[in-house]
Copies of this chain bind each other. A is one copy, B any other.
Amino acid sequence: VTVGERIRVVAGAGSADYDVVIGEGLLARVGEFAAAAAPKARAAAVISDSNVAPLYGPQVVAAMEGALGRASLHDFPAGEANKNRERWIALTDALLEEGLGRDTIVVALGGGVTGDLAGFVAATFLRGVPVVQVPTSLVAMIDASVGGKTGVDAPAGKNLVGAFHPPVVVLADPACLATLPRSERSQGLAEAVKHGAILDAEYMAELRERAEDLLSGEPYASRWAVRRSVELKAGVVSRDERESGLREILNFGHTLGHAIEAESRFEIPHGSAVAVGMVLEARIGEAMGVTASGTADRLAEALRAMELPTELPSGMDPDRVLGWTGADKKARGGEVRYVQIAAVGSVHRDRNWARPVAPDLVREVLATGSALS
């Protein structure tokens, strides 16, 4: 068993800093890492969905039981549709009925939905118990498990209810990625490309070169991308405490991405929607003269290499997509804001990390797929 990397994340807001540990074979060692990160824990509740629980549940429960003496598995039906308050209630009540108390540690074993839902259970159980994030999908390893955001969806929109509740440790075992379907890895790579687009041009170029290895789940390439993406995201999250609002740059591609996702009634998966969103938001930036010309095309090329879409699906109504940006929660309490890149690898900043854009320009770019500048 080799533990390859440890990346420190500054949690801020009174929470303890934590490590993201990346390495093959970590699933078997979840117990020792959890016990070290939460020394007061005496019982574990492993929360996992119906896809992941049969694959890794018994191994992780055994590891936690070995370390703490007591562990149980709580599963729920897979899918974003289950990331809701009703499922949160059912999981919380299952833990309470088991008699679990303040000395419990929650282990979130799975993809982004599991991390958000189990994290919110931990955030609110007896006013908060520690959580270990054990991401098993590429997008969860690369993005979702770092930063401390937890929560569930409401009828009015995604992620509208939740809490900041940083994990005590994140354990990413790239060996899990080999069993994923190719299309799931492709989805996760959208966020990796985003990290390159906002922070590291070289990373984006190398992602493109190694696209085939990444899409096929080749272990060295996977581990490399997880490590670099976590480094980049951890850097942003850690600096956010000092540079208030820096974290907002992680929303690049997401203003339109969320709208496209919603307009498709979530038939277009998150990664694909964000891929299209990044290209269109870059085109908006080019039209406004804040983004170097040719940037959107470079981005589109990298995303196509990851087998991701780069244009609005034909037949999707630009006005309806624009309407959804108003419903996007970032719009709550004011104007719709866009993160814009100056070029691949750097975000444009004036007073803020994001700014409003004239709705007419957004509509035009949505309608034509390219800006008239």
Interface of A is mostly: mixed
Q: Name the distance in Å between A250's Cβ and chain B's nearest Cβ.
A: 14
The CA-CA distance from A100 to B331 in the complex, in Å, is 10
Residues on the B chain within 8 Å of A23, using CB: none
The CA-CA distance from A104 to B14 in the complex, in Å, is 23
Q: Name the distance in Å between A307's Cβ and chain B's nearest Cβ.
A: 33
The CA-CA distance from A89 to B155 in the complex, in Å, is 11
Q: Find out whether the CB atom of B43 lies under 8 angstroms from the CB atom of A128.
A: no
Residues on the B chain within 8 Å of A104, using CB: 333
Using an 8 Å CB-CB cutoff, how does the interface string of A90-110 with B read, 1 for contact, 0 for none?
A: 001100110111111000000
Q: Which residue of B lies closest to A102 (CB)?
A: B333
Q: Apart from A97-B156, A99-B332, what are 10 other A-B pairs with CB-CB below 8 Å?
A: A13-B13, A13-B15, A85-B85, A85-B89, A100-B333, A124-B124, A124-B162, A124-B163, A126-B160, A127-B149
Q: Which 8 pairs show the lowest CB-CB distances between chains A and B?
A: A101-B332, A14-B14, A101-B333, A103-B333, A13-B14, A96-B156, A127-B162, A102-B333
The CA-CA distance from A74 to B138 in the complex, in Å, is 42
Q: In the complex, how many residues of chain A place their beta carbon closer than 8 angstroms to a beta carbon of chain B?
A: 41
Q: Find out whether the CB atom of B43 lies under 8 angstroms from the CB atom of A101.
A: no
Asked if A203 is at the interface (CB within 8 A of a chain B CB), the reply is no
Q: Find out whether the CB atom of B163 lies under 8 angstroms from the CB atom of A103.
A: no
Asked if A164 is at the interface (CB within 8 A of a chain B CB), the reply is yes
Q: Which A residues from 109 to 149 make CB contacts under 8 A with B?
A: 123-128, 149
Residues on the B chain within 8 Å of A100, using CB: 332-333
Asked if A254 is at the interface (CB within 8 A of a chain B CB), the reply is no
Residues on the B chain within 8 Å of A96, using CB: 154-157, 160
Oligomeric state, in copies: 2
Q: List 13 A-B contacts (CB under 8 A).
A: A42-B334, A85-B85, A93-B154, A93-B156, A96-B156, A97-B156, A100-B333, A103-B333, A104-B333, A126-B161, A126-B329, A126-B332, A127-B151
Asked if A12 is at the interface (CB within 8 A of a chain B CB), the reply is yes
The CA-CA distance from A2 to B160 in the complex, in Å, is 40
Q: Find out whether the CB atom of A163 lies under 8 angstroms from the CB atom of B127.
A: yes
Q: Which A residues from 233 to 262 make CB contacts under 8 A with B?
A: none
The CA-CA distance from A346 to B24 in the complex, in Å, is 55
Residues on the B chain within 8 Å of A93, using CB: 154-156
Known: A14-B14, A15-B14. A334 touches B101 (CB 8 A): yes
Q: Find out whether the CB atom of A101 lies under 8 angstroms from the CB atom of B331.
A: yes
The CA-CA distance from A123 to B329 in the complex, in Å, is 16
Q: Which A residues from 34 to 50 make CB contacts under 8 A with B?
A: 42-43
Using an 8 Å CB-CB cutoff, how does the interface string of A63-106 with B read, 1 for contact, 0 for none?
A: 00000000000000000000001000100110011011111100
Q: Name the distance in Å between A372's Cβ and chain B's nearest Cβ.
A: 32
Q: Which residue of B lies closest to A327 (CB)?
A: B99
Partner of A161, one of B42, B124, B161: B124
Q: Name the distance in Å between A201's Cβ and chain B's nearest Cβ.
A: 31
